[in-house]
Every structure is written in C-alpha cells, then in structure tokens.
Amino acid sequence: MSTDTMSTDMLADQTYDEDIIATTAIGRSLGTDYFGLRDELTEAERDYLKRTRTFVDTEVLPVINGYWERAEFPWELIKKMSVLGIIGDGIEGYGCPPMSPVAAGLIHMELNRGDGSIGTILAVQAGLAMRSIWMLGSEEQKQRWLPGMAALDLLGAFALTEPEHGSDAVALETTATRDGDGYVLDGEKRWIGNGSMADVIVVWARDTTDGKVKGFLVEKDAPGYDARVIMGKASVRAVLQADITLTGVRVPVGNVLPGAQSFKDAARVLASTRIAVAWGALGHAVAAYEAALSYTKQRNQFGKPLVRFQLVQDQLVKMLAEVTAMQLYCLRVSRLDEQGKLTDTIAALAKMNNTLKARQVIAEARDLLGGNGILLDYHVMRHMVDIEAIYTYEGTEHIQTLLVGRDITGVGAFS
C-alpha cells in the first residue's frame, strides 16, 4: 500500500467529535471566518456584526419565507429594525448611528444573509435615498428628512431607472421644466424600490432649460405621481418595486437637490453604494455555504453523512475559498473607503467579483442539497433567485467590467 493510499484510508476511517467541529473557524457563533478576519475588526464593528446577526437569526429567518412567498412587504421586521440603530450606512450626524465603512458593510452582509429583500430595503433607504440627500441636499433638506429616515419613521426611494433606460441610465428621458417658483416633472420610472410607499422619492430628471440631469425630492401623495407595484417577480419578492408615472408633478424649488447638477452627481451616489452591494452578495454566499455545510453534516446517504464523501468535501472547500476571497475584497475596499483612497473602479471590481462569485457559491449549495435544495425550508433557493436581482442592479457585471476595463486600458469600450 502506498503512503498516499494509507493516508486516504486513515482519513476515511477517522471520526471527529462534534464539539471539536463546532469550535473550528467555520463553526463560530458569528459565522464563517476561516482566515480569522474578525480579529481585524474594531470592537464597535464587532458589535454591529453581532447585533445584526442576532436580529437575522432570531427575527428574520423564522418568518421571512412567508413574506417572500406571499410577496409581502415585511413591516413587522422593519419596525423591529428601527430600534437596532443600524440605519445610516455611514452617514455622519442627523440621527444616524456612527459607523465605519466596514461596520456599514457588515450590516449589509448580515441582512442579506437573512434575506435579499431586507438587504435591498436597507440599500434603498440608506444607501440611495438618504445618501442622495446627505451628499447632495441642502442643510434644510438634511434636517427635514434624514433623522426620520434613520429611525425608519419615514421611507425613501431612489428613482433613476426608466423603462427604456436601464444600463444606459444617463440617457434618461424624464423631464423637469421650470415653472415659476418650482419645476414640473413628466416621465416614467421603473424598478423603483419602495416607490409605492415612500414618504420621499429622489427623482432624477433632465432640465429642459440646460439639458442637465438634476435631483428632485418628490413627496408622498404629490398630485400627478402614480406608482404601481410590479407583479410577478421571482426575486427579492418581499420588497416592493414600482413602475412610476410622473404627470405634471410640481416640485417646489426648496425640494431641488442643490448639489445635483449633472448625471455625474447621480453616479457618485451609485458608486458609493457598490461596496454595499459587494457586502450584500457576500451575505448571500455565506448563507448558502453555511446551509450546505450544515446539511451535508446531517444528511445520510449510502450509510454515512454526505461530508464523508470526497466530492462533497471538494465542493465545500471550493465554496469556502470563494467566500473567503469575497470577505477579503470587502474588508479591503471598505478600509480604502475609510482612508479616502477608494476609487469608483475599485468599487466596481468588488461589486463585479462578489456578485459573480455569489451566484457560483449558491449554485454549488443548491447542488449539494439535492431535491431539498428547491424548498424554502432550506433557504438556499430563495438566495439563489434573490442573487439574480443583486447581480443586476446598480450596474450589471458587464457594465462594471467595462468601467474597470476602461480604467486599466485607457480605452472606453462603450459610449
């Protein structure tokens, strides 16, 4: 018998105490962390991680399948989130809890580990709507809206995408016409998260006077604002996206974002949220990996647990390798953000990599669960369809690739 064969046989015959397995890096109470990256976190960052993870485990996971299956907005969970002190995405002041970019990312990761709809609600509320007001709004606008939004007393929405302009959002056709002491908005928007229920909607429109893209705060129940919930979604079903029609919607000049003077300003908001998307994709991948690891330890086939099979271990290790690489991406780009060194293209590369790898990890998990993988009880299928939305929004993998490609070659491959 060769040494290699002997080693393999010895490994096959060896049994492991479950208590020992539970104390390894992949069995810690705060989740998968094979490289011990938690040691790189500050005490405050670990607190945000633990607080959000506990909320997901105790409040979200026991009930979220029902909300997802019914395509129902989870008001009960949103109300509970309001007391956690996790809404703000790193915005300074205005009732937002102080948090580093890493802490904000950990929150996105954990909420998406629970459910893509919950994660999307945070991304729209804090990452897009609140951040638009914080980055581009007047002091009066910030004081008026941000404290209530941080407490989730007020919901926000971000209306940029149009029926005919998804990836080429810069070509938007919604118009803003100056009329006396305000503007009149006309046009259509699509895929607007929270758009049917928001108290304030950041609407991007082209000024008919100078042709520039500008931002406008449209308030709830404004005459001429019509939002219809998009039905038939198979992804992020518990967050409501809307088709919006704006017909002669009047916006006072006090509701115009003074810092939004071109599409580049809208792009700055989007760029700042791509890190959150990378963290969110990581959350989906972690959920799928942990579900697959737990399942294969418990599921017996051919007289022994699935984890005793070499092919299963091969899949699990490769999934772990991708998850760990995604964690390294997230931690590094957030630290760069903290240091003021983050570029749009670095954020784009992180978003591209993590959404792509999350799809692969989740597909492997679905495979390992066999027929049970399509049941909501095991959560993996919900993550599998939810990652499709996250893979697409805020710029598809292909758009992010072209942004990075232009940066490294100096040649733009798209208009």
Cβ atoms of 106 and 45 within 8 Å: the answer is: yes
Q: In this model, does residue 270 exceed pLDDT 70?
A: yes
Q: In this model, does residue 315 exceed pLDDT 70?
A: yes
- Lookup result for tokens 């998990």: 365
Instruction: Please write the tens of the pLDDT for every residue from 55-86.
Output: 999 999 999 999 999 999 999 999 999 899 99
For position 391, what pLDDT does the model report? 84
The token pair at 22 is 């539970």
Mean pLDDT of 287-298: 96
Instruction: Please write the tens of the pLDDT for every residue from 176-185.
Output: 999 999 999 9
Distance, CA of 403 to CA of 60 (rounded, Å):
36
Closest C-alpha to 159, from 226, 81, 86: 226
For position 267, what pLDDT does the model report? 86
Q: What is the CATH number assigned to the segment(s) 264-409?
A: 1.20.140.10
Residue type, 226: D
- Class of residue 25 by CB neighbours under 10 A (exposed 0-12, middle 13-18, buried 19+): middle
- The residues of the chain that CATH labels 2.40.110.10 are 156-262
- The residues of the chain that CATH labels 1.20.140.10 are 264-409
| DSSP classification of residue 410 | S
Q: In this model, does residue 191 exceed pLDDT 80?
A: yes
Residue type, 350: A
Mean residue pLDDT of the chain comes to 90
Crossing angle of helices 101-114/310-338, nearest 10°?
140
Mean pLDDT of 232-249: 96
The angle at the Cα of 285, spanning 279 to 288, to the nearest 5 degrees, equals 145
3-state SS assignment for residue 248: strand
The CATH class of 156-262 is mainly beta
| DSSP E strands, 122-238 | 156-159, 175-179, 182-193, 200-207, 213-219, 225-229
Please report, for residues 65, 149, 339, 360, 363, the alpha-carbon distance to residue 375 in angstroms, rounded to integers and kept in the order given: 10, 35, 43, 19, 14
Of 205 and 29, the structure prediction assigns the larger pLDDT to 205
Distance, CA of 131 to CA of 128 (rounded, Å):
5
Distance, CA of 236 to CA of 156 (rounded, Å):
18
For position 199, what pLDDT does the model report? 97
Instruction: Please write the tens of the pLDDT for every residue from 333-388.
Output: 999 999 999 998 999 999 999 999 999 999 999 999 999 999 999 999 999 999 99
Q: In this model, does residue 18 exceed pLDDT 80?
A: no
Distance, CA of 146 to CA of 142 (rounded, Å):
5
For position 115, what pLDDT does the model report? 96
Give residue 30's pLDDT band: very low, low, confident or very high (50, 70, 90).
low
Phi, psi of 270 (to 5 degrees): -65, -45
- The residues of the chain that CATH labels 1.10.540.10 are 37-150
Give residue 22's pLDDT band: very low, low, confident or very high (50, 70, 90).
very low
183 forms beta bridges with 178, 251
Closest C-alpha to 294, from 360, 372, 382: 372
The token pair at 251 is 């916006």
For domain 37-150, the CATH architecture is: Orthogonal Bundle (1.10)
Mean pLDDT of 407-415: 82
- Class of residue 185 by CB neighbours under 10 A (exposed 0-12, middle 13-18, buried 19+): buried
Distance, CA of 307 to CA of 320 (rounded, Å):
14
Q: Other C-beta atoms within 10 Å of 238: how many? A: 25
- Lookup result for tokens 């006309």: 186
For position 12, what pLDDT does the model report? 37
For position 169, what pLDDT does the model report? 61
For position 219, what pLDDT does the model report? 97
For position 155, what pLDDT does the model report? 97
The token pair at 96 is 């937002």
Q: In this model, does residue 299 exceed pLDDT 90?
A: yes
For position 168, what pLDDT does the model report? 60
Q: In this model, does residue 6 exceed pLDDT 80?
A: no
Distance, CA of 73 to CA of 152 (rounded, Å):
14
Give residue 29's pLDDT band: very low, low, confident or very high (50, 70, 90).
low
Q: In this model, does residue 8 exceed pLDDT 50?
A: no
The token pair at 285 is 């991948």
Helix residue ranges per DSSP H, 299-343: 310-338
Q: Other C-beta atoms within 10 Å of 151: how many? A: 14
For position 166, what pLDDT does the model report? 59
